[in-house]
């Protein structure tokens, strides 16, 4: 039990995600929170009496997961949730920093809590054994991108933890590349935020991207530079220390020594992919974004690349966000998948367990159902 020492204070900018399941696909802002309830500012519509999960992004870069019931809804403004169990944030520190800006921590004394009151502290356990989740190498919060009337990405919220390979799946036009472009700061989100190891990409792009790298077939290396020259140029851009030694290491690791002095433009597409992956590892990234990395590889090279990337993740060197249309590959390589459809995350989970959980024989079958008939799985809220 704790004793509440002060009373109400309102919060202004604590991001949250909420929804009927723990993956909580919609986004909002917590404007006040107490031990028993909170108010979520959002334009999304919820139903009074509905059970909801709320994930709150803590100033120490962790998700606080709560569950509760919608007490009242104010259309266009937001709603109040009563928690299923009295709660309190895990950290007892004062104000926290996020992306260089000060934000009020949840532990700030707040709404509906009265001086002298006592309350039980009970955190929802989010991982086996009750351990707090590791801070994400990537945290995406309420991302939205519109092009005129076209909504390419809507309320996309997820994180990638160190050592984890997360698959971003979805049919053509689902919003995968748009999401990756916003993570890289190449596209300006219409709303939402991206944090790489807690650094806000919008505010400190260079610092955030210094820990990141990227490979995609649609971003080939300059064709008129040799493999060694390309790696040198990118290594200099990333400020890689002991660059020559690092290049030699990567040429060996990606089986590229033979092509050291060959121009990238004359390499086969599979060889170019290996160079692109070597380039992606130059700065020893903590976050690796791979957009269909094996799309142009033969089965043997693709297997080799998957093994290398699994090795990278399992050594705990970083986390990976991986897109692919190859469900066999996704099952083999990804720890977790997110299904995007029409810009929204409809489903999240272990690619080996998800098909069974939804009564489908394979991940491919589940993919097709999510893409074509999400309502048959009880998904598709907001579509
Ligand atoms: P694919 O698997 O085919 O690569 P994707 O999931 O990567 O698809 P995106 O490229 O992110 O999909 O596109 C998402 C949606 O946004 C599509 O409907 C696309 O037409 C639209 N879109 C993307 N870029 C633009 C743009 N510059 N202007 C207008 N609409 C765009």
Residues 273 and 332 in one domain: yes
Query: Does the pTM exceed 0.75?
Result: no
- The total of other beta-carbon atoms located within 10 Å of residue 381's CB is 16
Rounded (5°) CA angle 180-155-319: 40
- How far apart CA 155 and CA 383 sit, in angstroms, is 12
Q: What number does the ligand 1 atom closest to the CA of 179 have? A: 11
Q: Which of 155, 198, 164 is nearest to 62 (CA)?
A: 198
Residues 178 and 213 in one domain: yes
Per the CB < 8 A criterion, the answer to whether 379 and 360 are in contact is no
Domain assignment of residue 143, yes or no: no
| Mean pLDDT lowest among 91-100, 246-255, 262-271, 316-325 | 91-100
CATH number of the domain where residue 328 is located = 3.40.50.300
Last-in-domain residue among 130, 162, 192 = 130
- What integer pLDDT is reported at residue 369 of this predicted model? 87
Structure tokens at 244: 């020559």
pLDDT of residue 119 exceeding 60: no
Q: Using 50, 70 and 90 to split pLDDT, how confident is the model at 259?
A: very high
pLDDT of residue 73 exceeding 90: no
Q: What number does the ligand 1 atom closest to the CA of 150 have? A: 30
Residue 264 alpha carbon to ligand 1 centre in Å: 28
Residues 90 and 27 in one domain: yes
What CA–CA distances, in Å, run from 201 to 186, 198, 212, 331, 378? 10, 9, 11, 30, 34
- What integer pLDDT is reported at residue 225 of this predicted model? 94
What is the signed CA dihedral for 193, 198, 202, 203, rounded to 10 degrees?
A: 140
Q: Using 50, 70 and 90 to split pLDDT, how confident is the model at 145?
A: very high
Residues 278 and 216 in one domain: yes
Beta-bridge partners for 195: 139, 200
Residues 18 and 103 in one domain: yes
Residues 153 and 108 in one domain: no
Nearest CA to ligand 1 atom 9: 175
- How far apart CA 40 and CA 137 sit, in angstroms, is 26
Output the DSSP codes for 64-127. Answer: EEEEEEEEEEETTTEEEEEESS----S---SSEEETTEEE--TTS--TT--TT-EE---PPP-S
- How far apart CA 135 and CA 124 sit, in angstroms, is 17
Domain assignment of residue 160, yes or no: yes
Q: What is the mean pLDDT of residues 131-136?
A: 50
Q: What sign does the CA torsion over 365, 371, 372, 373 have?
A: positive
Domain assignment of residue 138, yes or no: no
Q: Using 50, 70 and 90 to split pLDDT, how confident is the model at 35?
A: low
pLDDT of residue 134 exceeding 50: no
Beta-bridge partners for 140: 158, 194
Does the Cβ of 300 fall within 6 Å of ligand 1? no
pLDDT, one tens digit per residue, over 331-355 is 999 999 999 988 999 888 899 888 9
Does the Cβ of 183 fall within 6 Å of ligand 1? no
Residues 178 and 280 in one domain: yes
Q: Which of 270, 250, 268, 269 is nearest to 260 (CA)?
A: 250
How many domains does the chain fold into? Answer: 2
Among 173, 180, 345, which is best to mutate for testing ligand 1, by the most ligand atoms less than 8 A from CB? 173
To the nearest whole percent, how much of the chain has pLDDT over 70?
Answer: 78
Output the DSSP codes for 326-344. Answer: -HHHHHHH-SEEEEEETTE
Nearest CA to ligand 1 atom 28: 147
Residues 123 and 224 in one domain: no
Rounded (5°) CA angle 348-344-273: 75
- What integer pLDDT is reported at residue 153 of this predicted model? 95
Last-in-domain residue among 130, 160, 176 = 130
Per the CB < 8 A criterion, the answer to whether 115 and 5 are in contact is yes
Does the Cβ of 174 fall within 6 Å of ligand 1? yes
Residues 373 and 266 in one domain: yes
Among 176, 219, 383, which is best to mutate for testing ligand 1, by the most ligand atoms less than 8 A from CB? 176
Domain assignment of residue 13, yes or no: yes
Q: Using 50, 70 and 90 to split pLDDT, how confident is the model at 85?
A: low
Give me the domain span that covers residue 98. Answer: 2-130
Domain assignment of residue 142, yes or no: no
Structure tokens at 11: 């919060």
Last-in-domain residue among 96, 130, 164 = 130
């Amino acid at each position: 039990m704790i004793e509440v020492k002060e009373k109400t204070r309102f919060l202004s900018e604590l991001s949250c995600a909420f929804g009927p399941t723990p993956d909580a696909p919609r986004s909002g802002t917590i404007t006040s929170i107490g031990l028993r309830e909170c108010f979520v500012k959002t334009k999304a519509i919820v139903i009074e009496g509905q059970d909801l999960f709320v994930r709150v992004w803590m100033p120490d870069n962790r998700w606080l997961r709560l569950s509760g019931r919608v007490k009242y809804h104010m259309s266009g403004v937001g709603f109040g949730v009563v928690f299923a169990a009295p709660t309190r944030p895990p950290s007892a520190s004062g104000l926290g920093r996020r992306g260089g800006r000060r934000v009020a921590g949840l532990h700030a004394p707040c709404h509906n809590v009265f001086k002298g009151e006592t309350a039980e502290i009970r955190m929802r356990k989010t991982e086996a054994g009750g351990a707090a989740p590791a801070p994400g190498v990537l945290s995406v919060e309420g991302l939205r991108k519109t092009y005129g009337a076209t909504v390419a990405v809507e309320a996309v919220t997820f994180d990638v933890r160190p050592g984890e390979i997360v698959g971003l799946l979805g049919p053509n036009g689902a919003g995968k590349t748009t999401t990756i472009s916003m993570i890289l700061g190449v596209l300006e989100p219409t709303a939402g935020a991206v944090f790489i190891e807690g650094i806000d990409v919008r505010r400190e792009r260079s610092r955030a991207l210094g820990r990141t790298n990227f490979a995609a077939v649609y971003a080939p290396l300059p064709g008129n530079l040799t493999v060694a020259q390309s790696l040198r140029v990118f290594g200099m851009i990333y400020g890689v220390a002991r660059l020559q030694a690092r290049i030699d290491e990567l040429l060996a690791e990606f089986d590229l020594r033979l092509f050291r002095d060959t121009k990238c433009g004359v390499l086969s597409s599979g060889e170019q992919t290996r160079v692109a992956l070597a380039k992606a590892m130059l700065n020893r990234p903590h976050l690796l974004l791979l957009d269909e990395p094996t799309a142009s590889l033969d089965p043997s090279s693709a297997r080799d690349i998957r093994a290398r990337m699994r090795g990278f993740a399992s050594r705990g060197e970083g986390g990976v966000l991986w897109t692919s249309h190859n469900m066999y590959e996704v099952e083999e390589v990804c720890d977790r998948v997110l299904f995007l459809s029409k810009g929204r995350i409809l489903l999240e989970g272990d690619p080996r367990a998800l098909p069974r959980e939804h009564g489908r024989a394979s991940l491919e079958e589940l993919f097709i159902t999510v893409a074509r008939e999400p309502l048959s799985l009880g998904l598709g809220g907001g579509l």
